[in-house]
Amino acid sequence: MTCVGHKPKHQSDMRLAENWSSLDPEPRLRRKLLSVAQSGSEDERSDLLRNKLSFGTAGLRGLVGPGPNRMNEAIVRITTQAVALRLGAPEDPISIVVGYDGRNDSKRFANQAAATLKELGAVVYLSTEVIPTPLAAYALSELKCDAGIVVTASHNPPEYNGYKLFWSHGSQITSPLDEEIAALMDGIVDGSFTPPKVSGGTIKSIPKSVFDKYFGHIKEYEFSSPSERANLSVAYSAMHGVGGPAIERALKDSGIKVFPVASQHKPDGNFPTVAFPNPEEPGATDLLKQTATKNAVDIAIANDPDADRLAALAPTTSGEFKALTGDEVGVLLATHLIEQGCRGIFACSIVSSSLLRKIARANHQVFLSTLTGFKWISKAARDKEAKSSERFMFGYEEALGYCVGGVVRDKDGVGAAVTFCDLVAKLKSDGLTVWDKLDEIAKVHGVFATKQVSIKFPGLSGATKMANLMNKLRNDPVHSFGTFNVDSKQDLLKDKDYPKSNVLIFHLPNDGRVIVRPSGTEPKVKCYYQVKVDVHDGNVTEARKKAGQLLTRLCNVHQKEVTST
C-alpha cells in the first residue's frame, strides 16, 4: 500500500504505517494512519506509530483509533491470534468465551475476535448481548474453556475501549504469560509468521443454564432471612453500563426492593449523564444520591460500566447519602463473612487498608497481601489453595473491587452487591447501620484512615516524567515526610516476597505508610496514604477526628515533596 504525494519526512514511519495498514480492515483508519506518517507532527507520529498498547493491570486499554497504540479491529484481531497461538491453535482444539460491554465499538470488536478464533479452528462461546465481565469470567470456568475475552474499557471515558483476557483458571493473565502473548503479537505484526486459516471452528451462544448457575452460587453468600431482605430497599445505578439486568435479577429474586436510576439504567456508550463513568469520580453518583433520597432507601449502590466493581453509599444521621470507601466496604464484607461462619483465604492488594490483615488474623483466617490488580489476588489465592486445604473466601482491592466466595476468580460487582445488601439487611434488623458496624470494628482494631491521590502526567513526555519521579524516589534516601518519620523503604523491584513491580512502600510508625506506583492503565502516578489511630475509652469519634487530621497532614506534605521533585 502506498501513499500519494510528497515523500514522508520519516521513511521508517511510513513503513510502519504501511505494514500496520495491511493488517487493518478499517479503510478510514488506514487512511488516517498513512496521513499521519506522511505529514503528521512528530508527536502524532510518535504516539500513533512508534508506541503500542501493552498489557497493564487489566489487559489492553486505550483510545479507539488507528495504529498499534490504539484500540481497533486490527489490534483485536492480532491479539486474538496471539492468544489462540499461545493456547496451541490450530494444532490443538481450543475453546474460548467472548463477551463485550455496552461501549460503542465493543460488539464490533467482539465479533472480530470471535471470527478470528473461528478461522483458527476454535470453539467460541460468544455472548448474544452485552454481559457483565464477572458473568463472562464465570462462563469461562463453568464451560471449562481455555480462555476468555471481554471487550471492555471498564470505567474509562467513552473514547476508550479495551481487551480483558482471562485464562483457564478463571482469572486474568499475569506475567510471564502476558509477555509471551505480546511477543507473538510482535511476530504477527512484523510478518515473522502468519496464523493459518483452518476449518472446523464454530461460534455458539453461552447457554442460559450457565447464568442460572451463577445466580444460584452468589445466593449461597446471602445469610439474612427472607423477612429481613423484604424489609430492605436499595437505590441502584448501572452507570450507563451492563449491570442493570443482573442486579435486578439478583436482588429482586431475594425480595429486595430496587429503585434504579432510570436515566443510567440502560447501556449507552456515550455515557451522557456522567463526565467520567467511574463511581469514584466526583459527581458520578449525584443522580444515585437523588434517587436514594427521593425513595428514602436503606442503601445505595452502583456498578461501573462492566459491572465488575461496586460502589456503596449509606445515609448518615443527617439523612445525606455518603460514599463508603473501598476499604470500608472491603472490611465490612470480610467481617460479615467471618461472623456468618465462613472460613478460608482472605486477601487484599498492598494498597488496600492493613485493617483486613488485623481482622483475618484475629479470627484465625489465612491472610494474603498481593500486588495491585485483581489478577494478583486471584493468583496468590490459587497458589495457596494448591499448597493447602484452604479455599479462597474473600478478596478485595480499595478501588471498589471485591470477590466473595471465589464464585468468580475476579472482581464481581454483582455477587458483591448481593452479599453487601445481605449484611445491610441483617444490620437493619438489629437496629444498626454500616456506620455503627464500622465503629464496632474500630473499637477492636483501631481507626485506619486511607486515601489515594493521583498525580497526572499527560502528553508524550508524561511517561518519561513518571519514570524520572520513580527513579528519584527509589534512589534518594528518605528519612521523613515532614514530621512523619520513615521507618523503612520497601522496593518491590527487589523484594523477594512479591513479583517484581515498580512500587515503593514507605513504612511509618503505628501501621502508617505511603505507597507510590505508576498506574497500569492511565498516565499518572498513584500515591496511597494510611494512618492508624487507636481508640481509647471507646471514643471512636475522637479517634476518627485525629486520624483525619493526621491523614490530611501526611497527604499534604508528601504531595508537596513529590510535586517539587
Catalytic residues: 154
- Please write down the HEC assignment for all residues of 498-533: CCCCCCEEEECCCCCEEEEEECCCCCEEEEEEEEEE
Extract the C-alpha cell encoding 445: 482494631
Phi, psi of 325 (to 5 degrees): -75, 165
Do 309 and 411 contact (CB within 8 A), yes or no?
yes
Phi, psi of 500 (to 5 degrees): -55, 130
Do 420 and 403 contact (CB within 8 A), yes or no?
no
Burial string for 284-300 (b: 16+ CB within 10 Å, else e) reads: bbebbbebbeeeebbbb
Q: Where are the beta strands (DSSP E) in 389-523?
A: 392-397, 401-404, 447-456, 480-481, 484-485, 488-491, 504-507, 513-518
Helix axes 413-429, 208-218, angle to 10 degrees: 30
- Nearest CA to 300 among 203, 111, 290, 309? 290
CA atoms within 13 A on the CB side of 262: 0
Do 173 and 375 contact (CB within 8 A), yes or no?
yes
Q: Which burial class, exposed, middle or buried, applies to 507 when counting CB atoms under 10 A from its CB (0-12, 13-18, 19+)?
A: middle
CA-to-CA distance for 244 and 265, rounded, in angstroms? Answer: 6
